[in-house]
């Protein structure tokens, strides 16, 4: 699909998909979800999903039958009904999404399958909840938008960091003006993930295959999702350009040599992904975002989540804040915990107990599924819509383009077809 056709389709599509947020409690009708991908990540999501009393799981799917059967047993134990198992081939998911007894499909598979499965689900009339990133090419991004607009089916990427307690408290504080105008944000997916790039024998996993061949920011949505909501991206502002550079690749080869031996093939690969990638995004209004991506060096997990406004700053690495309107205007860091409590988001205020008992990323995934299920019931976009999914995911292919060009800027597509100019900001919605 070329860019002109894509923009024409977008302009003709209903604007409701961009603006029709589900902001009030919907009916508690049953939601029937299918599950594609029942490995470690999919099983974790399934366990959280099964906590909702008004959810049924009629079908589960995985290429490995043993994993699918284990997931079916989890469902049976919780819901007293064993789901149908689909397994044994890479295409069997197509049979599952065409069932007539499904309202939604959760997709927790390797990245290269996310977009095609979400598109297939929408074409079958099912609402997809797709793991991150939702797409890894610009063509997939456009296909997701086009399919959602043509079918009227909402597509939600399951970005859990947007539901972290500090992230939502900061969203409320921004809406109440405590930071003034937001000018710049920094964040990053910084997580030593070298151990999951190989299996026990030193063969590359699917993640390792991406690292072998691609150089850019391959996992942008965790840090970018919260920032995009804080800065009203696609809702009053948009990204217009991206510049990305990477350091040399050293960390994974060194790790492989230590783990498997210097003569092992894993230690001799020439890995494409640089150890540290830095990406700069510029918005239509001139504001900036810096993203970091580092899977390959010894370091603690850190999303950074630096938020800078005219009236103050927050730094997630140290969980500290400094506001002009607080502490007598002192230029000193304060603990953020009292502010997080004071500016508690309505979702956390209402659902704290079940969220914390769910365990999924500190309760964030319970809130995420709460919103997803409301969206499915209403057949309307939730706080994370298809335009968010593709905008946050598009950093993946765009950063690869920029790195390959020696860090030259690349144009950032407008997936909203100019509707970002009139879309209202994401509200601090109620539960």
Assigned token pair, 406? 């020696």
**Containing H/E element for 321?**
strand 320-323
Q: State how far the Cα of 307 lies from the Cα of 330, in Å rounded to an integer.
A: 18
- Burial of 369-383, coded b for 16+ CB within 10 Å and e otherwise, reads bbbbbbbbbbebbbb
What's the pLDDT tens digit per position in 371-387? 999 999 999 999 999 99
Of 292, 190, 234, 252, residue with least CA distance to 423: 234
Residue 188 has which token pair?
């990053």
Residue 359's pLDDT is 85
pLDDT of residue 29: 86
pLDDT in tens, the chain (431 residues): 444 444 444 444 433 333 333 433 344 589 999 999 999 999 999 999 999 999 999 999 999 999 999 999 999 999 999 999 999 999 999 999 999 999 999 999 999 999 999 999 999 999 999 999 999 999 999 999 999 999 999 999 999 999 999 999 999 999 999 999 999 999 999 999 999 999 999 999 999 999 999 999 999 999 999 999 999 999 999 999 999 999 999 999 999 999 999 999 999 999 999 999 999 999 999 999 999 999 999 999 999 999 999 999 999 999 999 999 999 999 999 999 999 999 999 999 999 999 999 988 999 999 999 999 999 999 999 999 999 999 999 999 999 999 999 999 999 999 999 999 999 999 886 55
Cis amide linkage into residue 426, ω under 30° from 0: no
Q: What is the pLDDT of residue 197?
A: 98
The alpha helices in 13-64, defined as continuous H runs, are: 16-19, 40-49
pLDDT tens sequence across 265-322: 999 999 999 999 999 999 999 999 999 999 999 999 999 999 999 999 999 999 999 9
Separation of alpha carbons 49 and 129, rounded Å: 11
74 within 8 A of 51, measured Cβ to Cβ: no
- Extents of the domains making up the chain: 3-160, 162-346+386-421
Other beta carbons within 10 Å of 117: 23
Q: Are 103 and 376 in contact (CB under 8 A)?
A: yes
Structure tokens at 277: 């990638």
DSSP of 209-252, one letter per residue?
Answer: HHHHH--S-S--HHHHHHHHHHTTBTTTB-EEEEEEEE----HH
Instruction: Count Cα neighbours of 220 within 13 Å in the Cβ-side half-sphere.
Output: 34
Q: Report the top-level CATH class of 3-160.
A: alpha beta
Q: How many CB atoms lie within 10 A of CB 423?
A: 19
Range 162-346+386-421: architecture per CATH: 2-Layer Sandwich (3.30)
| Three-state DSSP state, 165 | helix
Starting at the earlier edge strand, list the strands of the sheet with 334-335.
334-335, 320-323, 312-315, 306-309, 182-190, 288-294, 277-283, 239-246, 410-411
């Amino acid at each position: 699909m070329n860019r002109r056709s894509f923009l024409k389709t977008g302009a003709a599509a209903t604007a409701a998909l961009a603006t029709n947020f589900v902001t009030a409690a919907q009916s508690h009708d049953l939601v029937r979800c299918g599950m594609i991908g029942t490995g470690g990540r999919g099983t974790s999501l399934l366990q959280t999903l099964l906590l909702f009393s008004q959810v049924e799981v009629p079908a589960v799917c995985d290429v490995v039958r043993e994993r699918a059967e284990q997931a079916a047993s989890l469902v049976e134990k919780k819901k007293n009904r064993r789901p149908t198992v689909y397994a044994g081939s890479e295409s069997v998911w197509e049979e599952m999404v065409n069932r007539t007894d499904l309202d939604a499909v959760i997709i927790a598979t390797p990245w290269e399958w996310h977009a095609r499965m979400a598109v297939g689900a929408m074409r079958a009339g099912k609402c997809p909840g797709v793991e991150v990133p939702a797409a890894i090419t610009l063509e997939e991004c456009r296909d997701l938008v086009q399919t959602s607009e043509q079918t009227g089916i909402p597509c939600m990427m399951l970005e859990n960091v947007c539901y972290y307690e500090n992230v939502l408290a900061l969203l409320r504080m921004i809406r109440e003006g405590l930071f003034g105008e937001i000018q710049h944000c920094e964040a990053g997916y910084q997580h030593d993930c070298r151990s999951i790039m190989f299996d026990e024998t030193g063969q590359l996993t699917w993640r390792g295959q991406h690292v072998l061949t691609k150089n850019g920011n391959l996992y942008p949505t965790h840090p970018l999702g919260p920032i995009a909501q804080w800065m009203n991206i696609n809702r009053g502002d948009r990204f217009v350009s991206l510049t990305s550079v990477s350091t040399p690749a050293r960390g994974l080869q060194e790790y492989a040599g230590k783990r498997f031996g210097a003569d092992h093939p894993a230690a001799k690969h020439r890995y494409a992904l640089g150890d540290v990638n830095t990406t700069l995004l510029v918005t239509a209004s001139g504001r900036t975002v810096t993203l970091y991506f580092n899977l390959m060096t010894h370091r603690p997990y850190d999303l950074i989540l630096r938020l800078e406004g005219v009236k103050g700053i927050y730094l997630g690495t140290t969980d500290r804040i400094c506001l002009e309107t607080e502490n007598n205007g002192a230029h000193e860091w304060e603990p953020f915990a009292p502010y997080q409590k004071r500016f508690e988001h309505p979702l956390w205020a209402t659902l704290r107990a079940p969220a914390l008992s769910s365990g999924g990323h500190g309760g964030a995934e319970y809130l995420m599924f709460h919103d997803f299920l409301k969206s499915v019931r209403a057949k309307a976009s939730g706080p994370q819509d298809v335009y968010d999914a593709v905008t946050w995911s598009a950093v993946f292919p765009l950063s690869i383009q920029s790195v390959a060009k020696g860090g030259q800027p690349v144009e950032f597509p407008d997936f909203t077809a100019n509707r970002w100019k009139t879309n209202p900001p994401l509200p601090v919605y109620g539960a």
